[in-house]
Structure 1
Amino acid sequence: MPREVKEKVSRMELKTEVWERVMEFASLLANEDQTEKYWAHYNALKDYCETQSLGGHDHPFLWESLGDFTTDDNAAIPLYLRALGAASADDAREYRVSIRFALAECYRRKGQEDLAREYAIAADDEARDLNDLELRREISKFLLSQKSQSHF
């Protein structure tokens, strides 16, 4: 295997301790009702993502997770784009699909239907090779609802 390919493949491996730590933050964020505490957890997750990135472990999972807990689409989009940029390896297809779909949802909420459709179609095209039927269904529903909205 050429060195470049090996580096890309190993880059997509997610360390167990990173996954567990991000999931701890996700659990805290998902269950937090107090705004102050939510933002404290969010900022701790953001700091963790930055630390991992600076340490040479710039994994799309980090930035997609941070984007998922960002409450403002204008702030979430650059995080998802960063995640998408980090998901360039051949074995990162699942990340690219979910990130593109998240971008499509953000753009739809912002009223940017052309960009929403563009990202949803890209997600749908790449999702055809995935076994994640639920994600594929969600993307299809998204595209169908966008089509039906444009007929009014």
Structure 2
Amino acid sequence: MNTKIFEQVHSLATDMLAAAESENSEQFSRLYQELQSICFDNEDDESKNHPVQWETLADFTEDAEEALRHYKKALGFADEIGAKDYKASICYAQAMLLADEERLDEARSAIEEAQEYSNGLSDQELLDDIAELSKALEG
């Protein structure tokens, strides 16, 4: 991923978290629109487009259906570049959202995908998160 874009996305995510915590909806909306512009501007540019920007956009999208569309797009781009770590993270995030929306069958399916993609990864925090959610979704 282009380092400059990664830094922009990371900075925007940090600033959006701060805006959300301080309940500054105007600033949050402005930052969200900036992130959205980065995603859509880079979508057709192989050197600039990356799943992390789409996953981040989805993470901050308030509408569940729209967030799921962004996660799906992120998953597609992660698949194109063969990034199992991103695929595991994206599927985990989808499962969390679906569980929050009480769409438990879909959440279970997403967490199963996350488990498949996480095989062989070294990110212990992600592995633990996936295992914890999987256990919580056992039904």
Q: Tell me which of 2, 5, 9 is aligned to 1:22.
A: 9
Q: What amino acid is aligned across from residue 16 of structure 2 in structure 1?
A: L
Q: TM-score, normalised by structure 1?
A: 0.83
Q: Which residue of 1 aligns with 2:126?
A: 135
Cα distance in 2 for partners of 1:59, 1:74 equals 21
Report which stretch shifted further, 96-105 or 85-94. Answer: 85-94
Q: TM-score, normalised by structure 2?
A: 0.91
Secondary structure of residue in 1 paired with 2:79: coil
Q: Which residue of 2 aligns with 1:50?
A: 40
The structural deviation recorded for 1:91 is 3.8
The structural deviation recorded for 1:94 is 0.6
Q: Tell me which of 77, 84, 87 is aligned to 1:93.
A: 84
Q: Which residue of 1 aligns with 2:28?
A: 38
Q: Deviations over 1:78-103 (max 9, x none)?
A: 00000001111464111100001111
Cα distance in 2 for partners of 1:126, 1:45 equals 27
Q: Does 1:67 align with 2:54?
A: no
Secondary structure of residue in 2 paired with 1:98: helix
Cα distance in 1 for partners of 2:80, 2:39 equals 19
Cα distance in 2 for partners of 1:80, 1:97 equals 11
Q: Tell me which of 84, 96, 106 is aligned to 2:75.
A: 84
Q: Structure 1: where are the runs of 5+ without partners?
A: 1-13
